[in-house]
Chains A and B, each alone.
Chain A
Amino acid sequence: MALFEVFQTTFFLALLSLRTYQSEVLAERLPLTPVSLKVSTNSARQSLHLQWTVQNLPYHQELKMVFQIQISRIETSNVIWVGNYSTTVKWNQVLHWSWESELPLECATHFVRIKSAVDDARFPEPNFWSNWSSWEEVNVQDSLGQDILFVFPKDKLVEEGANVTICYVSRNIQNNVSCYWEGQQIYGEQLDPHVSVFHLSSVPFIRKTGADMYCEVSQGNVSKGIKGIVLFVSKVLEEPKDFSCETQDFKTLHCTWDPGVDTALGWSKQPSQSYTLFESFSGEKKLCTHKNWCNWQITQDSQETYNFTLIAENYLRKRSVNILFNLTHQVYPMNPFSVNFENVNVTNAIMTWKVHSMKNNFTYLCQIEVYCEGKMMQYNVSVKVNGEYLLSELEPATEYMAQVRCADASHFWKWSQWSGQKFTTLEAAPSEAPDVWRNVNSEPGSHIVTLFWKPLSKLHANGKILFYNVVVENLDKPSRAEIHSIPAPAKSTKLTLDRHSYQIWVTANNSVGASPASVIVISADPENQEVEEERIVDTEGGFSLSWKPQPGDVVGYVVDWCDHPQYTLCDLQWKNVDPNATSTVISTDAFRPGVRYNFRIYGLSTKRIARLLEKKTGYSQELAPSDNPHVLVDKLTSHSFTLSWKYYSTESQPGFIQGYHVYLKSKARQCHPRFEKAVLSDGSECCKYKIDNPEEKALIVDNLKPKSFYEFFVTPFTSAGEGPNATFTKVTTPDEHSSMLIYILLPMFFCVLLIMIVCYLKSQWIKETCYPDIPDPYKSSILSLIKFKEKPHLTIMNVSDCIPDAIEVVSKPEGTKIQFRKSLTETDLTQPNYLYLLPTEKNYCGPGPFICFENLTYNQAASDSGSCGHVPVPLQPSPSQLGLMISPENVQKALEKNYMNSLGEISAGETSLNYVSQLASPMSGDKDSLPTNPVEPPHCSEYKRQMAVPLCLASPPPTENSSLSSITLLNPGEHYR
């Protein structure tokens, strides 16, 4: 042992001596200078690649050395980077080192030099550096070409958020260069007269096809060219999330993860990130072909624990996540299968299913969910291979959805997917009596009873209701009950019952059986309709109804109403209320604003007889009246009129009519006493009168002015407001005196009419009295004129004094009278017929003698000298004479003159005078006495027209020929034909 220690000590001493010797040798050879420095460039990566060797290194020696590298830009003195590079150097080894520049290498000349030092533990003495190598110049610009402008770096790939330096090289410093980044001009700093650099900080991801920067070189305003680059900015590679692995069969592991954003870029600059799965225990690796999942084959049954690393990688970055797990804890079972239901009855069913077999003794925990109409029941059961579970407490005739899923009972990891089936339980008889109500309309001798019932809920129907049985039994006299079967889904039926009490049973029936009966009794007495109706208001929750508690036995109350009272089929609804309650709230979505709902409250006696207790009416929301009344105006006087709208129905309005507003417009500024001023919606002013009683449907508007214009408008109002706007109706009051005039004029009219009638009836008498055919000369007004002239010697010849020469009375038969009339009409009216009483030879012109009279009163000669011995004088009334007729004075004078002349003539030549009596006028009233054929020749007689002098002097002849009369004052001897 001692020998061994001595040997060991000797060996170490020898070794130490050897090393000391070697160090001395090396030290003697130092310095170890780097030589053969060569610098190359990689423009795409903007990197300088250095390679060199170390001189003086002993043969087959390794030595740890440190190299200091200096990099200058533009000029050697401008050192931009200094760094050390340590490595073990072998003899004759070519060393490599790279440096990446943030500035594109094309933008500036770079210089590199290197020196070295021994950094080996075998040489503990202080190191000293070798000399610097000579500067190596790297100038890429020289190889660019002859273009006037260059922009760098080209097609560079960077990560979002990186800082990027861009430069341009302009060959001509006279040129102006403008640069734009994504369309926005950017400004850089000048590196030298030809080169400018731009620093883009934290570049964003813009698009997969890269972001563009371009520079435009121009001289003056002339563009010389455009050069640009595309900068490919990649999104930052994200760490995969939610990485997990699981197995369904212990043969394959299925690993999934969320990959995050896709970092792929266009121009194949960067593909989508790749994913690699590495398992550390087995040392196996797998490149995943999908971006979010990967399958791993389990090859060794013995391996239970796995340590997976998922590595995401793109050109710029690498990310990884790791999971460590036990295989048996990551079991995701496959879906259960063969789900079935056995022994399905009314309330129970047995559910069975199968699960995939796994390892031995593998136990599943299975979960069952049973759904029915929104309800869900959940059960858990432990299963080896075949599952079975009794589903109980099910509803009859109900479709259920049952599903099952399973998980590893030992180490829960995940539930499997659901597997399910539907099944339906069997029907049972309905469990509850239908809710029945009735509406009774009493008619003479009968009741029309309409029965209503509500369909049973699914819970109580226990199946599909097929029909309803209605059994009617007369309570007053024993008889066979009537059975009516009403097929579903009818909800009502109508019965006509006589005036007896009836008991009615209603049952609902399905395929299994009938429900309990619902009983209702119809009393023989007619329903009490004399219940006062009370108005109610809808609160927010609905109509709140309350009623007085009823003495005696009441088994309950029923409130009924119509959901749609405006329709014939009003959809009767009812609500059953407990006997102890005296109020309820009726609320339904069917209630609409502006509809009046009528509620009837019935009390149900122990005998199931319903008695009407109270009536309520109200609106869920009152609205303003929908229409205005049609107003009639009557009793219109000069001071008042009456407005009435008695046919306006207040019941059919969308609110309780509270009254009416009567608007009155007039020219007067002031309103009448009962009216108040109001402003209409159009801004005009008027007077308003409010009627507070809705049943008061008339208004007397008085204190009006006669012959004035008024406008009125009547509109009802509810609590929600007035009726719709409408046009005003116009009324004009009559004149005050017009009625008086009517009172006067009407009797006058009747008096005149009476007089006219009397005159007509007594015309003959009047004629004879007032203007006889043969005027009485003594009554003539001429006399007064004569008296006025004071010629008392003149006398009126009396007819009795005149002795006619001859008178021939021609008897005239009845037939000739007609003929005579005819001849008169046929004869020219200018040829009047005369009855000649004084026949002469000359004037004989017919078969019989004629009598000719001349009335001296008129001083007119016979017109026809041939017939009456007068010399014919042409009818030429002088203008002066016509003109004299214009004024009454002149007429008077003319009359006087003519009268005097005629009197003179009479006195001078009395032998030639003919007296022409008016009685002889063929147009006299006594025409019947005329000869039958007096008109041959036509000029044998002539009627002398009397002058149209004042009434007292002459009267117009009542003949047809009067139309030919001319108001002319004739001179003596003048004839008017």
Chain B
Amino acid sequence: MKVLAAGVVPLLLVLHWRHGAGSPLPITPVNATCAIRHPCHNNLMNQIRSQLAQLNGSANALFILYYTAQGEPFPNNLDKLCGPNVTDFPPFHANGTEKARLVELYRIVVYLGTALGNITRDQKILNPSALSLHSKLNATADILRGLLSNVLCRLCSKYHVAHVDVTYGPDTSGKDVFQKKKLGCQLLGKYKQVIGVLAQAF
């Protein structure tokens, strides 16, 4: 729990406090008014679509880079070790209203953001020489942060949503190396799968 408090919560705070990210939703009271530091762009949805497309375009490469860097048996046992079997992954319903979809997107991006942060941290220790993987993970995390900011803006400005309950990606700090590698692979597999659906839905 201490690790959770020390690792994930500050990470989320950083995510939300970045430029244009708006107020940190999880700590906003239910009845609080939606306050945004900066005015939102007019073409927010276009930006969201563009960011989703960008993530969708690089997700597969990131996945390949990840499992290749882990070495055997990962590349040859993707279905067993990297299957997208992430139980607590936030759901998404593509046929919902835009507001509902945006709320679900928000949850997914928060989840992925924390998961990606953990994966990045683990890989920097386990694979210190896999620089291209680190770079790709960082780039993806950057885009996710921007996407989160835009989704928040949209929710706030159009739907006046000030609070969304979120779940975070699994904390791997207490797990053994194999579990970290496997969990990272599963998460990136899930990310690759879900980002395609999201890009289609918007």
Contacts and interface: CB of A to CB of B under 8 A. Distances in A.
A345 interface: no
Contact of B176 (A206, A223, A226, A230): A230
Contacts of B181: 212, 230
Contacts of B74: 212
A140 to B, nearest CB: 15
Interface string B167-194: 0000000001111011000000000000
B50 interface: no
Contacts of B129: 208
Nearest to B77: A183
B73 A214 contact: yes
A183 B72 contact: yes
B126 interface: yes
Contacts of A154: 176-178
Contacts of B69: 209
A702 B179 CA distance: 101
B39 interface: no
A230 B178 contact: yes
Nearest to A226: B80
B80 A223 contact: yes
Interface string B102-137: 000000000000000000000001111100000000
Residue from A151, A154, A206 with most neighbouring chain B CB atoms (10 Å):
A154
A180 B182 CA distance: 15
Contact of A266 (B80, B81, B126, B179): B126
B73 A210 contact: no
B81 A226 contact: yes
Given A209-B71, A266-B126, A155 B182 contact: no
B157 interface: no
A267 interface: yes
24 contacts: A154-B176, A154-B177, A155-B178, A182-B73, A183-B72, A183-B76, A183-B77, A212-B70, A212-B73, A212-B181, A214-B81, A214-B178, A216-B80, A223-B80, A228-B179, A228-B182, A229-B176, A229-B177, A229-B178, A230-B177, A230-B178, A230-B181, A267-B177, A268-B125
B80 A212 contact: no
A267 B130 CA distance: 12
A226 B129 CA distance: 27
The 5 closest A-B pairs by CB, nearest first: A228-B178, A183-B73, A230-B177, A154-B176, A267-B126
A209 B176 contact: no
A209 B73 contact: no
Interface string A209-224: 1101010100000010
Contacts of B76: 183
A927 interface: no
Contacts of B126: 209, 266-267
Contacts of A183: 72-73, 76-77
Indicate the size class of the contact surface on chain A.
20 to 34
Contacts of B70: 209, 212
A318 interface: no
Contacts of B72: 182-183, 212
A151 B70 CA distance: 19
A209 B127 contact: yes
A214 B72 CA distance: 11
Interface string B126-164: 111100000000000000000000000000000000000
A619 to B, nearest CB: 64
Contacts of B73: 180, 182-183, 212, 214
B72 to A, nearest CB: 5
Contacts of A230: 176-178, 181
Contacts of B127: 209, 266
Contacts of A208: 129
Contacts of B179: 227-228
A155 B177 contact: yes
Interface in A114-164: 151, 154-155
Contacts of A151: 178
A180 B72 CA distance: 10
Nearest to A183: B73
Contacts of A182: 72-73
A182 B72 CA distance: 6
Nearest to B74: A212
A151 B177 CA distance: 12
A261 to B, nearest CB: 16
A380 B153 CA distance: 84
A494 interface: no
A207 B70 CA distance: 10
A230 B73 CA distance: 11
Nearest to B76: A183
A210 B177 CA distance: 9
B132 to A, nearest CB: 15
Contacts of A155: 176-178
